[in-house]
Amino acid sequence: MKRATMVQPSSTFVNINKKNLWVSLAIAVLSLCFVPINVSAAVRRHPPQQHHLSRKPSPKLRFGRNGEFKILQVADMHYADGKTTPCEDVLPSQVDGCSDLNTTAFIHRMIEAEKPNFIIFTGDNIYGFDSKDSAKSMDAAFAPAIAARIPWAAVLGNHDQEGTLSREGVMKHIVGLNHTLSQFNPSELHVIDGFGNYNLEVGGVEGSGFVNKSILNLYFLDSGDYSTVPAIPGYGWIKPSQQLWFQRTSAKLQRAYMSPPNAQKSSAPGLVYFHIPLPEVASFDSTNFTGVRQEDIGSASVNSGFFTTLVEAGDVKVVFTGHDHINDFCGQLTGIQLCYGGGFGYHAYGKAGWPRRARVVVASLEKTEEGGWGTVKSIKTWKRLDDKHLTAIDGEVLWSKKHTGKVE
């Protein structure tokens, strides 16, 4: 999201409760038939064969021999044309020479300091309106991850498609870049809303009893850009077709986890990544979150019921978003943590004197009785500021088999 083009969402939400979820989804599907962009139109414009691109086999994500899997979240880079693109909302002393290259330098610093196993870019990766060539902007934005040969993935925000490539074109370009595990859409589905809906599995440690089992599941969804329904103002939302895909994928992964070999009694933890925050994020205040809230929640003006869908699935422990650059908090609602990444990019709006930041997440494994590595025991997070010392702040346990809370 960028201040100059920010859409002010309505303060009235259409709430969908658990009891009426399927009815609401059915109504939503029918309603799409009466708006300019709908499922039928998607079939006409994007035939099935265009919805999944051929890819080389992707490397398997897995926990390291130290029993950890570390993820770096990069939210809202707003990359444009490199050194000719100025910074937004920095101190007067920082203006001279400040550009997209500061964003690039910050990624390099984070990679060097944290040595992540995986990098996730959560949308508005480029600011298409200011980019002369969207493909070149993306190449530059993702270059640090590619140069470091670290596996990475991306979802789309609401500004990525505002340049020389359509939303579909942007995702196709991302999928073709080196070292990415991003996917265009699920290969088994012919029709699904958006671009960049997919999941990735993280296997256990090599040599352990969980080497061939996904013990951490990552879900990625396209939260859209802006509403295509004339009567509904504001931002986009996760549609019924995407929710159905998530439900089926979650159920399949849970069945596999609770089946031999090494059948487990409960589901593996799941992490969900998309750009636009859910309306439920607005329910938090300073008494029940870790971090800061410095701007209104930029969610859709309708509630599609996706949070209810996540709760019903039972495996999701944390949802990570971006979009609201000067919010960086995490708060728990109905057993799920809802977390912002915090504004990363220097061409994105921010707050002068409030450093750009990145979120780090580490999933750690428990030891088995035999002394080997078992399943996930905890998920922790902290943020690092782009200051002189890459200061780490707001460490907390997002989920564990025992408790959640701040890290002492």
All structural domains of the chain: 68-400 (3.60.21.10)
Check pLDDT > 70 for residue 97: yes
Identify the burial level of 390 via C-beta atoms within 10 angstroms of its C-beta, where 0-12 means exposed, 13-18 middle and 19 or more buried: middle
Supply the pLDDT for residue 120. Answer: 98
Task: Give the model's confidence band at 57: pLDDT under 50 very low, under 70 low, under 90 confident, else very high.
Answer: low
Helix locations, 148-239, DSSP H: 167-175
Over residues 309-325, the pLDDT tens digits come to 999 999 999 999 999 99
Q: Give the sign of the dihedral formed by CA 394, CA 363, CA 284, CA 222.
A: positive
Task: Give the model's confidence band at 147: pLDDT under 50 very low, under 70 low, under 90 confident, else very high.
Answer: very high
Q: Which of 32-36, 53-57, 67-71, 136-140 has the lowest mean pLDDT?
A: 32-36
Task: Give the model's confidence band at 190: pLDDT under 50 very low, under 70 low, under 90 confident, else very high.
Answer: confident
Supply the pLDDT for residue 187. Answer: 86
Supply the pLDDT for residue 59. Answer: 67
Supply the pLDDT for residue 14. Answer: 37
pTM of the model: 0.86
Task: Give the model's confidence band at 10: pLDDT under 50 very low, under 70 low, under 90 confident, else very high.
Answer: very low
Q: What angle do CA 312, 305, 219 make, to 5 degrees?
A: 65
DSSP class of residue 275 equals: S
Q: Cα–Cα distance between 394 and 385 in angstroms, integer?
A: 11
Check pLDDT > 70 for residue 37: no
Q: How many residues does the chain have?
A: 408
Supply the pLDDT for residue 402. Answer: 78
Over residues 235-276, the pLDDT tens digits come to 999 999 999 999 999 999 999 999 999 999 999 999 999 999
Tokens representing 80 are 């444009």
Supply the pLDDT for residue 33. Answer: 36
Percentage above 90 pLDDT, the chain: 81
Check pLDDT > 70 for residue 15: no
Check pLDDT > 70 for residue 173: yes
Computed over every residue of the chain, the mean pLDDT equals 88
Q: Which of 75-79, 97-101, 108-112, 187-191 has the lowest mean pLDDT?
A: 187-191
Residues 96-108, mean pLDDT to the nearest whole number: 98
Tokens representing 163 are 């340049």
- Residue 243's SS3 state is helix
- Between 55 and 273, where is the model more confident? 273
Task: Give the model's confidence band at 286: pLDDT under 50 very low, under 70 low, under 90 confident, else very high.
Answer: confident
